Structure 1
């Protein structure tokens, strides 16, 4: 079968490798569509300690990819509730099953968390073996023929966005500011609207992404680089500020500005990861104190979130087809990475996907 293999920084190769064999409790998925995530691009450009530990040379290499959907083609002994031929998307994180987070189903916070596409081979291959521990924790989620594989592959970041919104507990009638008009920012927009937000404002400097934000339902778009950015947000919120602010980008300035843009008793979610060399930021703690602001993080998603958002896609309450910018074949995965990297640098385009059929 064809599989992409990580050989080092900016070195991803498509190779012929043996098809995985399933064992006790395991599931084999034939990949139909996979999507390139920002974290895939980060590992491609900077490397990753887990990938580096696994492939110090070309004798052992990892297949990345944690956003993917396909068909169950084989199940191992002792697998229950999953049938061959089922269309599925995969929640990539699973845990030890014993710690306090795993007992609550919050597998991304498990100290021994493992991720498909990082700790084990992932979705940039024609076939993916799902480990028994992951299967037991409910990562294999079915969907119907109503939902195209392309959109099902985007459910992983959608579930992460859902986790972020639930952390902030958006209420009907509230005003939400989404800082960042990339793919995940658009997912926050549609989810906030579904939660009943009265107004959703997107802060984005790219003209192309501003237009996409409007298409995805943003009620207003502002440019965070304008000198009157704070005044513009306050004008759009009747001088109150936003009840909820989602920082859906990796800009430290966006995090630092959030207390100035938030309403009294507002909630702020630092959803986007910032560069490691810029992770220490300056916040106006007096504003956090005097406005009684709450600041949250949101890391990954749990299978329960994954199932909820997949259902929203399957019922067509959410349509993410407009986020797909470019499509590549399995043999073109190296070119797909280069295209996704160019989009990231230029803040143009949205999701780059890989089609295996």
Structure 2
């Protein structure tokens, strides 16, 4: 098979590899679509202590089962599936309480085992037993289905922040994740979604995703606009999808008293850490963060996609063949469009 391996920082190699044998408790997937995640870009540029190179990365995967081990039940050749990212151990405290995404081993597809930037992937025993493998509807494309993993993370964030119908919600950042939040919030009945984004093309995407108000912070006072739209109270919820400590601190100013803040993106190591904890205390705020998603929310994400509850094709702005993966990474890193998807079976 062909695959694209990360061989060093900012070094991707299109190479021929042997398809690993499928063990008795394993499943072989023919990969049809794999999205490029922000974490893939971070690994590409900075490396990761959990990854030994060369490594095939990529965890936003959809494809077809072509082989199942003799001990595998519930799946068969020909099943069209999409995958979660985490490989839970199944026995630690977090795995026992449906939080396998917080498993103490911290194993994930594309990190300790080869991922989706390849024509085939073999799912290890632990993933088959405890990970999330979800069958998709015949009407769902593989490209749509590979969005199930990032969208499950969006659903996890919405559950944690407690956004409700009728709320005014501010979303900082209008990349793929930010626009998914915007579209999902409007589908769930948010009264107003205010998107804050510097890039003009992405401001346009935020509006197309359903944002009621789009703010350019480089030419407007974001706090004043939000205060004006909320009668001076502030937003019910604020979601920060951009990796900025400055925006995390700004969220403390624009949220109303007793409101809630979701921190979705980690900040760069060279940035000063937030925050003004007095605001958290005296405004009686609820500040939370999320990383990944549990299996039940991956299942729910697949339902959203299968039932077309929002337009998932909207988020896919670029597609590439496997041999074009390097170009795909640079396109994604240049913040062109929203989601870049690699199609390993494309000629």
Which shows bigger deviation, 145-154 or 115-124? 145-154
1:179 is matched with which residue: 172, 179, 195? 172
2:298 is matched with which residue: 281, 306, 325? 306
CA distance in 2, matches of 1:34, 1:193: 27
Q: Secondary structure at the match of 2:21?
A: coil
Cα shift readout 1:3-43 (whole Å, capped 9, x = no counterpart):
11111011111111011211122111100011111111111
| 2:333 matched residue in structure 1 | 341
CA distance in 2, matches of 1:105, 1:283: 30
| 1:251 matched residue in structure 2 | 244
| 1:128 matched residue in structure 2 | 121
1:327 paired to 2:319: yes
1:317 paired to 2:317: no
Give, in angstroms, the shift of residue 338 of structure 1.
Answer: 1.9
Cα shift readout 1:156-201 (whole Å, capped 9, x = no counterpart):
1111111111001111111111111110001111221232211111
Asked if structure 1 preserves the Cα contact closer than 8 Å seen for 2:89 and 2:130, the reply is no
Asked if structure 1 preserves the Cα contact closer than 8 Å seen for 2:258 and 2:284, the reply is yes
CA distance in 2, matches of 1:35, 1:145: 20
1:205 is matched with which residue: 186, 192, 198? 198
Runs of 5+ in structure 2 lacking a partner?
A: none
CA distance in 2, matches of 1:183, 1:340: 10
| 2:135 matched residue in structure 1 | 142
CA distance in 2, matches of 1:296, 1:338: 32
CA distance in 2, matches of 1:50, 1:275: 18
1:235 paired to 2:228: yes
Q: Secondary structure at the match of 1:44?
A: helix
Which shows bigger deviation, 137-146 or 263-272? 137-146
Runs of 5+ in structure 1 lacking a partner?
A: 56-60
- Deviating runs (4+, > 3 A) in structure 1? none
TM-score, normalised relative to structure 1: 0.94
2:147 is matched with which residue: 154, 161, 176? 154
Give, in angstroms, the shift of residue 285 of structure 1.
Answer: 2.1
Q: Secondary structure at the match of 1:277?
A: coil
Cα shift readout 1:75-98 (whole Å, capped 9, x = no counterpart):
102211112111111101022211
| 2:81 matched residue in structure 1 | 88
| 1:354 matched residue in structure 2 | 342
TM-score, normalised relative to structure 2: 0.96
1:291 paired to 2:283: yes
Asked if structure 2 preserves the Cα contact closer than 8 Å seen for 1:107 and 1:113, the reply is no
Asked if structure 2 preserves the Cα contact closer than 8 Å seen for 1:19 and 1:127, the reply is yes
CA distance in 2, matches of 1:96, 1:282: 33
CA distance in 2, matches of 1:182, 1:334: 20
Give, in angstroms, the shift of residue 354 of structure 1.
Answer: 0.8
Give, in angstroms, the shift of residue 138 of structure 1.
Answer: 4.1
| 1:58 matched residue in structure 2 | none
| 1:3 matched residue in structure 2 | 3
1:4-83 matches, cutoff 5 A: 4-51=4-51, 54-55=52-53, 61-83=54-76
Calculate the aligned-residue CA RMSD, in Å.
Answer: 1.3
Aligned length: 345
CA distance in 1, matches of 2:276, 2:106: 34
